[in-house]
Structure 1
Amino acid sequence: MTEIIAGLTTGAIYALVALGYNMTYLASGVLNFAHANLMVVGMFVAYWAHSVGGLPTPVVFLIAFLLAGGLGLVEERFAIRPLHNSSGSAELVTMIGVATVITGVIAFSYGTDALRVPFFGPDQTIVLLGGRAQPLDLIIIGVAVVLAVVLHLVTHRTSVGLAALAQTDDREAAQLRGINVGGLSLWGFAVASAAGGLLGPLLVSKTFAATSLALLLAVKGFVVLVLGGVGSHRGVLIAGFGIGLIEAFGARYIGPLYRDVVVFVVFAIVLLALPQGLFGGRKVRAV
């Protein structure tokens, strides 16, 4: 049971990155590959607060929320909006550039070593169904589940969510129907980035604060996104838990050096059978 809890926790972290991808994709049609870097920004805010000392935990979360949200606004306004009429590869290059800049600024300010930040809550071990877990593990799993459910409900049962689905399907048609796609994109980036920053102080005690972490989270989050289906919050959550469990059991029974190999083998097999992902919908266009 201990391995299951550890795997679910790891998978929840990957799912949180993929949910951020989904939020920007549904709002703007763009996958924000700098989302993991914005989560790392939140982690370093927590490290800064820990090194300074004396800051209340809610204030730390608020600073991370506002800083990441502000960066998301700047990113959409100056790095994404001018390229909406360009090819998708241009936006991809821009996102990678933004991620590189954020990583470079953090590395220049704090170095590249992994920095430890203690958990702000209780850290005693909990015995659960015969296994051992930390309170932080259960919190991370719970946050991933709640966020996925909330995003699913917002996407399918609110006017904003339905507008996002409409612009994702056909941006020009959505504009003709009166949907402010520019505003939707701007606030989608801001909200997704702020949420990523808010998660940083929560995750940092589990992952450490390290610039190298952004690339790992970005890649694993993308794997989870593709497996679960782009735009499907439910699929992303299930795929995240699945990848986390595969990593945990692969590390135990095959070896820690091969757990990534196992993940990408499963990834390839699933995509061969279901190119649209586990819960992604097929789109048919008449020509």
Structure 2
Amino acid sequence: MDFFGTVMAPFRWLVSAMMAAFHDGLNSIGMPAASGWTWTLSIIGIVLVVRAALIPVFLKQVNAQQRMRLLQPDLKKLQEKYKGKTDPLSRQAMVQEQMALYKAHGTNPFSACLPMLIQMPFFFALFQVLSGISTTAGQSQGVGAMSAEQVMQFDQSTIFGAPLSASLLHGVGGNQLSVWVLSIVMILAMTAAQFITQKQIMARTLSDEALASPVMAQQKVILYSLPVVFGVGGIVFPIGVLIYWTTTNLWTMGQQFAIRWDRMGP
């Protein structure tokens, strides 16, 4: 096992254990064990657990955003100080003074990325679990904490005729049109939700002057490129992974709207 596989092993086991536990719980209240909707709700259950655990991180992110807004007058003065100075030394000095301001106020321009970065191991773990299901189905083998029977049930489960283990590039039986339609709809939904969330964060915390600064220009490239990266990457993600990422992006967008209206007003 390579280094990445070793690091991801406990996350794979945890994700598979949560999915199996939610599946067994839903089955115990009468939902069919092999139903795609039972497994879909199990994946959504993973999102709920992970995102609930990240609420303290999200609140810290909100506090960092509020400190970023309080920092705007100082940033504006700094930008006025270096206005019209485009030589490399001046630009470097401006960036250094800007980072010193962020440190003094206990915030940084990349705080918006933290919840996403924390979620990435769970996202990759789910991808690996579903990929493992696709390769071991029919071999009477379990995957992580999932039994061989659960692996078979998941591999055979569908929603709207599309297998949860299928992707745009790797259809696995079922209705291929359903796979394409469902995948494209979720890719568009998760990309749109992620883009709207980033726009909310930046519009709420930064002035136009701050957005024009070199540091924030770099952050804008990162934040706005992520939806594109995940949108393009969505063509290889199994539908089960798309369900996870679409749900978590909608959760994030909802959190941002709740904070916006609750703390800042319309």
TM class by smaller structure? under 0.3
Higher relative contact order (CA 8 A, sep 6+): 1
Q: TM-score, normalised by structure 2?
A: 0.26
